[in-house]
Structures are given as structure tokens and as C-alpha cells.
Chains A and B, each alone.
Chain A
Amino acid sequence: MNPEPRRRPVGEDIAKLLAIGRNAETAAGGEPGEREAERALSGLLSSPPPAEWLETAPLDGHPLPPGRPLREVLTDGSLSVAAARIIKEEIKRRFRSHDETKAVHDASVAAYLAAIANALVFHGEKISSYSYRDLGGAFARMAEKPWMEPELVPLFLRARDVCKNKMNRKA
């Protein structure tokens, strides 16, 4: 075991641990639908973005990082807005298909919103036509899902705060 942490914990790490604790009692022992959604999301996030997505990446020097699990890609602050947009569109295509289960649909919506949250949090860009109010509500609901991947919870909470600030500024 390594007694020396590789880096100091940040607030988001604390939030992830809290989410693990919160979800463990509900998703792990909860409704079958929640367990399925948890598994579907974990499966989706553990795989790298499919190679065919890369083919559509614009040649502007900001391609998708190859080979990394989607979980890392979606929470990476260096992901370009263009790449976040590609992920969002590809995942949208996926959840518009009618032959998938509810769990897969829920997992896809979570990843779709995570791509939007990434662009909003790290680049201040809204890559969705939904209003800040709608997005803020969706991010808040995602962060509260007992099956939500703990890695994504801080991202959703930060995105919700960005939306709140934008709405306050408008008001």
C-alpha cells in the first residue's frame, strides 16, 4: 500500500465519497430498476468512446482523447467543447433508439447531460438548446439519482451552480 497520497484530496473527491456512501444503501440494495441503471451507466462509462465517434471529430486540433474510458473523458476539464458536442450528439442518437431498455436509456441520458455539463463547467459554453432553468433542474435531478456514478455527481452539482448563476445574472 502506498502511504503517500499521489495528490491532495479536493472537494470533489469528498463529494464522490459522500455519493458512494449515499448510493450504496439505496442503489446496491434498492429497486431492481436502480441496480440495472447503475450497471448500465457503469458499463457505458467504463468503455472508451467508440472509434466511429472519432471519425466525426472535427480536425481542429481538439479530437477526442483515444482509449480512455468515457468516465474519465466526461470529467476531464481539458476535453474540448467540440469533443463534448460529439459525445453529446452520439449519445443522443443512442438513446433515441426505441429498442433499448429503460436502464440503458437512463444511463444514456446521464452521459448525454454529463457532456453538456462538461462544456458548461469547464468552458462556460452551453451546447444545448435547453434553457439554463431546464438544464439546472436536470443536473440537480441527476446528482440525486441513487444509481448515479459518484464520479459524475460533482460535475452535475457544479453544472447546476453554473446554471443558477446564469439565471441569477439574467434576473
Chain B
Amino acid sequence: MSHKTTMGGPDESFEQTHWSEILDARTTDDARRSAAVSYIARRYWKPVYCYLLRKGYDGEHCKDLTQGFFTDVLLERQLIQKADPAKGKFRSLLLTALNNYVVSAHRSETAGKRADARPLLSIGDTEDLPIAEDRASVTPADAFNYAWASDVLNGVLTELQAEYTSHDMASHWAVFREHVVLPVLEGSRPRPLKELCAQYGVEEAQQMSEIVRNAKRAFGKLLRKHIGQTVGSEDEIDAEIADLMAAVSKPGARGGSGVRID
């Protein structure tokens, strides 16, 4: 078992992929714009759906409204044109737009003018989405943020696992998973380092402790990379992580399998 890792990518891992896509959607080329909006819809449909569900709409209605939101607001009303990395987080802009959309959608439906939802994205299985169970204490915005944070963490953990596996270090991922991730997600006690040493053929607990530390750092680096893709600059990463932590710390937010690990 090797104990050195470059998992989590190089130090200069900040990328603007997410914002690049958003800014790309400003093009006058319809095909490119539609592709960029589809990308954003794929990234954000779960939080949008959870928000609508928490608003009290049933599953089918949520699907319609989710489609409608991305088509009407992002594609046709060109919310993207207003998006500016210098003016704050895209997540906040989307949440505000969603709030306004729900009000106007309700108005349209009341007036018998329900918008025809053209399918922009394929909404998959919604059974296991992270939905707030304690509805009294969880606002729709909380549900949105919880689903978004879960999705980001899913992406980070999936990439970390893939990186470890591709570097023939699957055992490091297994240690991280059993000693850090599962205890947090399941509320169980971490498996003792000595036990993990015996299972994975590591001689000293100190070495195992180093593996755990390195895995946490790799996880941290990837988390910063993923969050970095959704904010305007690297300076905003810490603030966004703190904001998400505060948003999901409210009691009652409870997942389906909010964060999955295989």
C-alpha cells in the first residue's frame, strides 16, 4: 500500500468550467445556447425539484414546473444574460429567479394559462432525492440548498473514488470511506485505525493516520475545485462553503440518499 498521493488534483485546481458554461449560454447561436442551458439544467434540476416539492407541489407538477423553469426563465427570458460572476453566486441568482417563477406560474395557472412545458432535460428517478422530512422547519430555500450541497458532495466523493481507483489506490479510498465518510453519514463510530491496519496490511497506526490525513486533504482539494466552479473567484470559495454549511445545518433537513457512496 503506497502512502503518497497527489489525489485531488494539482494546487492550481481552480477552474471556471461552470461559469464558462453559463457565460457561453449568452451566445446568440441558438444551438450553443440551448446546449449550455441544458448543461445548467442537468446540474441544477435536483435542487429546483426539491424546492418545488417543499413548496407543496406533487411529483408530476414538480416535473412540469422544473422543465418550465429552465425553459421559460433560463432559455427564453434569458436569466443567463443577468448572470455575472462579479455580482454574486449563481446559486443565489437561480434561487431568486425560482421564487419569482413559482409566483408567476401560480398566477398563470390560476388564470388558466398554464405554460406548455417543452422538455429541455430528462428528469430521472426522483424517488431517492434528498427531501426534507421535517417540513415545518425546512423552507423551500433550505431544501434547494440541501439538495445542491448533497449533489456537490456526491460529485466530489465520486471523483475522489475514481482518482484513487485509477491510481491503483482503492484501499486508500476504502480507508477514507470507512474511517471518515460512513461514520459521518450514518452516525456510526469510525473503524479504529488498528483494525484498518490489520485489514489493509499497514504496519503502524501512524502510517494509517497519514493515509487518512492525505485522503482528507485530497477530499478538501476536490471540494474546493467543485465549489470553485460555481462561484466567481477563488476568494469566494471559503465563503460559499461556510454559506452552505450554515444553510444545511438547520434541523429537519434529511436526505433520501442525499449523499451516496458505493
Known: A5-B186, A6-B188, A22-B241. A12 touches B248 (CB 8 A): yes
Known: A6-B188, A15-B245. A24 touches B146 (CB 8 A): no
A29 to B214, CA, bound (A): 10
- Quick one: closest B residue to A72, CB to CB? B189
Give the size of the chain A interface in residues (CB under 8 angstroms).
Answer: 35
In the bound complex, residues from chain B placing their C-beta under 8 Å from that of A84 are: none
Is there a chain B Cβ closer than 8 Å to A167's Cβ?
no
The smallest beta-carbon distance between B13 and chain A, in angstroms, is 11
In the bound complex, residues from chain B placing their C-beta under 8 Å from that of A5 are: 182, 185-186, 257
A-B contacts, 18 listed (Cβ < 8 Å):
A6-B187, A7-B186, A8-B256, A9-B255, A9-B259, A10-B253, A10-B255, A11-B248, A11-B253, A13-B184, A13-B185, A14-B259, A15-B244, A17-B259, A21-B223, A22-B242, A25-B220, A157-B245
The smallest beta-carbon distance between B163 and chain A, in angstroms, is 15
Q: Are B174 and A1 in contact (CB under 8 A)?
A: yes
Give the size of the chain B interface in residues (CB under 8 angstroms).
Answer: 46
In the bound complex, residues from chain A placing their C-beta under 8 Å from that of B256 are: 8
Instruction: Please give me the 5 A-B residue pairs with the lowest Cβ-Cβ distance, nearest first.
Output: A11-B253, A24-B220, A21-B223, A24-B216, A11-B248
The smallest beta-carbon distance between A18 and chain B, in angstroms, is 5
- Quick one: closest B residue to A26, CB to CB? B220
Is there a chain A Cβ closer than 8 Å to B155's Cβ?
no
The smallest beta-carbon distance between A19 and chain B, in angstroms, is 6
A13 to B182, CA, bound (A): 10
Interface string of B110-148 (1 = CB under 8 A from A): 000000000000000000001000000000001000100
Name the prevailing secondary structure of the A interface residues: helix
Q: Using a CB–CB distance below 8 Å, which chain A residues touch chain B?
A: 1-3, 5-25, 28-29, 143-144, 150, 153-154, 157-158, 160-161
The smallest beta-carbon distance between B170 and chain A, in angstroms, is 12
Name the prevailing secondary structure of the B interface residues: helix
- Quick one: closest B residue to A11, CB to CB? B253
Is there a chain A Cβ closer than 8 Å to B251's Cβ?
yes
Q: Are A24 and B219 in contact (CB under 8 A)?
A: yes
Q: Using a CB–CB distance below 8 Å, which chain B residues touch chain A?
A: 130, 142, 146, 149-150, 153, 156, 174, 177-178, 180-182, 184-188, 213, 216-217, 219-224, 238, 241-242, 244-246, 248-259, 262
Select B153's contact among A10, A12, A18, A153, beta carbons within 8 Å: A18
A143 to B249, CA, bound (A): 11
A144 to B146, CA, bound (A): 20
In the bound complex, residues from chain B placing their C-beta under 8 Å from that of A14 are: 146, 149-150, 153, 244, 248, 253, 255, 258-259
- Quick one: closest B residue to A77, CB to CB? B251
Q: Are B186 and A15 in contact (CB under 8 A)?
A: no
In the bound complex, residues from chain B placing their C-beta under 8 Å from that of A10 are: 253-255
The smallest beta-carbon distance between A138 and chain B, in angstroms, is 16
- Quick one: closest A residue to B156, CB to CB? A21
Select A21's contact among B241, B249, B259, beta carbons within 8 Å: B241
